[in-house]
Amino acid sequence: MITLDEFSHLIEVHSSDLAAWPSDLQIAGEDFLATSEEARALMKDYLELEQQLDVLPVPMFSGLEAKILGQSLPPRTPSLLEQLLEWLLPNSGFTLRLWQPVAAACLPLVFGIVLGNFYSFGVTFESDEMEYWEDELTMLSLNNYSENDF
């Protein structure tokens, strides 16, 4: 069973129309309303408030539409960023234009490969394999393969 404070809060947040309340709270609200006179008084107060809010007038604003439509609008040219985003992520024909964002994403990768291929940037690469064969050849040259040993 909900309390009066909770009931009051629910009316304030969701209105006096129980159908507008969250579905899991409607039955609890109806039960509380049926059993509590304070709840019924509260509901009556908020219902009257809402009815009075509904009849508050608003001017007709005749001429406002013409005024707004008549105002001069700045040229609607997309900014450079909008144009770039439109090219990368088009709003239409997305499947056919998928290559655009894919190509754009691959550009840094390609650039990095090319850069790394042509420039060492001071990094030396030592080959252990070459040292191994140098050592082998040195050892072979020191061996005596004369016929007298056999």
Partner 1 sequence: MMLAVVNGDQSAYQVIVKQHLKSVSHYAYRMLGNQKDTEDIAQEAFLKLWINAGKWQVEKSKLSTWLHRIAHNLCIDFLRKHRRTQLQSEILEGVEPNQEPHENPREGSEAFQRAKQLEMAIRGLPENQRSALVLCHYSGFSNKEAAVIMNMSIKALESAIARAKRSLRNELSETGIEHQ
Q: Which residues bind partner 1 (CB under 8 A)?
A: 8-9, 11-15, 45-46, 48-50, 52-53, 55-59, 61, 64-65, 67-69, 71, 73-79, 82, 91
CB of 78 or CB of 116, closer to partner 1 = 78
Minimal distance, residue 63 CB to partner 1, in Å: 9
CB of 60 or CB of 140, closer to partner 1 = 60
CB of 70 or CB of 108, closer to partner 1 = 70
Minimal distance, residue 73 CB to partner 1, in Å: 5
Q: Is 138 exposed, middle or buried (0-12, 13-18, 19+ CB in 10 A)?
A: exposed
Minimal distance, residue 51 CB to partner 1, in Å: 10
Q: Which residues contact 67 (CB under 8 A, 6 or more apart)?
A: none
Give the position of tokens 């408030």. 49
Q: Which residues contact 42 (CB under 8 A, 6 or more apart)?
A: 4, 7, 8, 11
Minimal distance, residue 1 CB to partner 1, in Å: 21
Please give the structure tokens belonging to residue 112.
């990095």
Minimal distance, residue 71 CB to partner 1, in Å: 6
Torsion, CA 134, CA 140, CA 142, CA 144, rounded to 10: -170
CB of 82 or CB of 134, closer to partner 1 = 82
Which contiguous run of DSSP H or E holds residue 106?
helix 99-118
CB of 8 or CB of 36, closer to partner 1 = 8
